[in-house]
């Protein structure tokens, strides 16, 4: 139900749906083949199939003795006819009634169909006797029982990282086909902003947003054009938007999308693009702009740094996944935790409060606020490991109540 708190606001999900329904993948049209060492962070353009069987040969799962299982008798003594080590197979002849000493990972000698672990072997002067009945196939890891040759091991649209690249290395894959990187232009707007390294004059502040956005774009594997700080001046803004639009698939600015007097971004965009200016029903981060310039997509983040990062995280991150054909992208699943501190909340918007969660002595997940939740208070990000997500209609939360928590992904806590 819309009420006085929510009229004119659009929900996060509605905003995301609008963004995703208008856009489609851009980067899979141009692909390249890269060696594994250069493909970290890139998105697979095609499925990767295994060129080999894993394991590549039948091998022993135990240190012990390989035999022909049909020759097993409870009282039989086997002479030891040779040895097979990992990396040093046994290829000789082995007479009937003999066994081969074998180590874990060693190829099973031709003809052998069972390995008996050494704990079940009894050494005698004449050879070894096996104390436990033997079954055909025991303790042998068969060729291809993990991965078959030609089997798909990674789908298209997967981001290559520590869970994927070592797998490809284990298969001897040398090169992988990846999509081109998404090109993103970024700038900050505001007469008050200064870059790090410049002393601040009265009324000035350092530019946090461009730094944060650039960093997140790097982590997402984008190719970034950083256009710096753009003054609140129509001509400068027009030029920045045109340059950004010429270069990029996606343009991201921050500031100037609310309704302040110096917010030229809004009027400029009305001139050069088809942009929606939204009031999101989330906190922090109310003003947000999305739409299309001549060539590129555009996201206008709020000026306050915490809002800028949150809207980037919740909206721009999935958009970038969509545009860069990263089909298996998702945020970490939300969990339930017990409030270990009070959380202040006014009904009306979905609240993302920075919090730290840990398991308490009883093994229960507990969430504690990291302090002031002002949209300019960046320090509470650095103390947090996730968001406490409080429903729109909810009011203040007391200690002991259940809350939803959303752990940060590696973009925020890598």
The listed partner (Mg ion, ligand AMP, none) that binds 273, CB under 5 to 8 Å by sort, is none
The listed partner (Mg ion, ligand AMP, none) that binds 258, CB under 5 to 8 Å by sort, is ligand AMP
CB of 324 to ligand AMP, least distance (A): 24
The listed partner (ligand AMP, Mg ion, none) that binds 380, CB under 5 to 8 Å by sort, is none
Q: 380 with 367: CB under 8 angstroms?
A: no
CB of 398 to ligand AMP, least distance (A): 31
Residue placing its CB nearer to ligand AMP in the complex, 31 or 254: 254
Residue placing its CB nearer to Mg ion in the complex, 178 or 193: 193
The listed partner (ligand AMP, Mg ion, none) that binds 284, CB under 5 to 8 Å by sort, is none
Residue placing its CB nearer to ligand AMP in the complex, 151 or 204: 204
CB of 182 to ligand AMP, least distance (A): 22
Q: Report the distance separating Cα 256 and Cα 188, nearest Å.
A: 9
Residue placing its CB nearer to Mg ion in the complex, 109 or 256: 256
The owner of tokens 């002991």 is 400
Backbone angles phi, psi at 98, to 5 degrees: -110, 170
The listed partner (Mg ion, ligand AMP, none) that binds 139, CB under 5 to 8 Å by sort, is none
Residue placing its CB nearer to Mg ion in the complex, 127 or 190: 190
Q: Residue numbers of the site for ligand AMP (CB under 6 A)?
A: 188, 190, 192-193, 205, 207-210, 254-256, 258, 260, 302-305
Residue placing its CB nearer to ligand AMP in the complex, 311 or 353: 311
SS (H, E, C) 251-272: EEEECCCCCCCCCHHHHHHHHH
CB of 306 to ligand AMP, least distance (A): 10
The owner of tokens 């999305």 is 290
Residue placing its CB nearer to ligand AMP in the complex, 241 or 357: 241
The listed partner (Mg ion, ligand AMP, none) that binds 127, CB under 5 to 8 Å by sort, is none
Q: Residue numbers of the site for Mg ion (CB under 5 A)?
A: 190, 255-256, 303
The listed partner (ligand AMP, Mg ion, none) that binds 305, CB under 5 to 8 Å by sort, is ligand AMP
Q: What is the dihedral of CA 25, 26, 28, 34, to 10 degrees?
A: -120
The owner of tokens 């939300």 is 334
CB of 265 to ligand AMP, least distance (A): 8
The listed partner (ligand AMP, Mg ion, none) that binds 326, CB under 5 to 8 Å by sort, is none
Residue placing its CB nearer to ligand AMP in the complex, 159 or 349: 349
CB of 222 to ligand AMP, least distance (A): 19
CB of 156 to Mg ion, least distance (A): 41
Residue placing its CB nearer to ligand AMP in the complex, 116 or 252: 252
Which one, of 41, 354, 382, lies nearest residue 208 by Cα? 382
CB of 360 to Mg ion, least distance (A): 43
The owner of tokens 């302040």 is 260
CB of 230 to Mg ion, least distance (A): 10
The listed partner (ligand AMP, Mg ion, none) that binds 89, CB under 5 to 8 Å by sort, is none
Residue placing its CB nearer to ligand AMP in the complex, 181 or 286: 286
Nearest residue to ligand AMP, scored by beta-carbon proximity? 303
Q: Encode 104-113: b = buried (16+ Cβ within 10 Å), e = exposed.
A: bebbbbeebb
CB of 244 to Mg ion, least distance (A): 17
């Amino acid at each position: 139900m819309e009420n006085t708190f929510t009229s004119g606001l659009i929900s996060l999900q509605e905003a995301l749906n609008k963004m995703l329904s208008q856009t489609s993948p851009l980067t899979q049209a141009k692909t390249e083949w890269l060696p594994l060492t250069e493909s970290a962070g890139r998105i697979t353009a095609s499925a990767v199939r295994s060129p080999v069987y894993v394991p590549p040969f039948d091998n022993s799962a135990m240190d012990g003795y390989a035999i022909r299982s049909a020759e097993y008798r409870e009282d039989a003594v086997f002479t030891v006819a040779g040895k097979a080590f990992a990396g040093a197979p046994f290829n000789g002849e082995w007479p009937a009634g003999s066994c081969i000493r074998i180590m874990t990972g060693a190829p099973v000698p031709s003809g052998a169909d069972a390995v008996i672990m050494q704990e079940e072997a009894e050494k005698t002067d004449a050879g070894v006797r096996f104390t436990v009945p033997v079954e055909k196939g025991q303790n042998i890891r068969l060729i291809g029982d993990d991965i078959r040759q030609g089997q798909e091991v990674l789908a298209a649209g997967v981001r290559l990282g520590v869970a994927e690249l070592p797998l490809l290395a284990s298969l001897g894959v040398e090169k992988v086909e990846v999509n081109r990187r998404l090109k993103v232009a970024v700038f900050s707007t505001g007469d008050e902003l200064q870059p790090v390294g410049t002393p601040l004059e009265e009324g000035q502040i350092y530019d946090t947003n461009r730094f944060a956005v650039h960093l997140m774009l790097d982590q997402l594997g984008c190719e970034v054009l950083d256009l710096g700080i753009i003054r609140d001046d129509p001509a400068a803004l027009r030029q920045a938007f045109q340059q950004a639009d010429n270069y990029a698939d996606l343009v991201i600015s921050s500031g100037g999308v609310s309704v302040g007097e110096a917010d030229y971004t809004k009027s400029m965009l009305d001139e050069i693009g088809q942009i929606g200016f939204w009031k999101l029903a989330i906190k922090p981060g109310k003003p947000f702009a999305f739409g299309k310039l001549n060539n590129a997509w555009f996201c206008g983040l709020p000026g306050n740094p915490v809002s800028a990062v949150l809207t980037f995280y919740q909206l721009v991150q999935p958009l970038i996944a969509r545009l860069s054909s990263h089909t298996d992208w998702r945020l970490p699943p939300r969990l339930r935790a017990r409030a270990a501190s009070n959380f202040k909340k006014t009904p009306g918007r979905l609240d993302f409060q920075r919090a730290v969660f840990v398991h308490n002595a009883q093994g229960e997940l507990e969430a504690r606020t990291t302090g002031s939740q002002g949209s300019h208070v960046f320090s509470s990000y650095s103390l947090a490991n996730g968001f406490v997500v409080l429903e729109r209609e909810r009011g203040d939360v007391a200690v002991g109540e259940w809350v939803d928590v959303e752990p940060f992904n590696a973009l925020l806590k890598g």
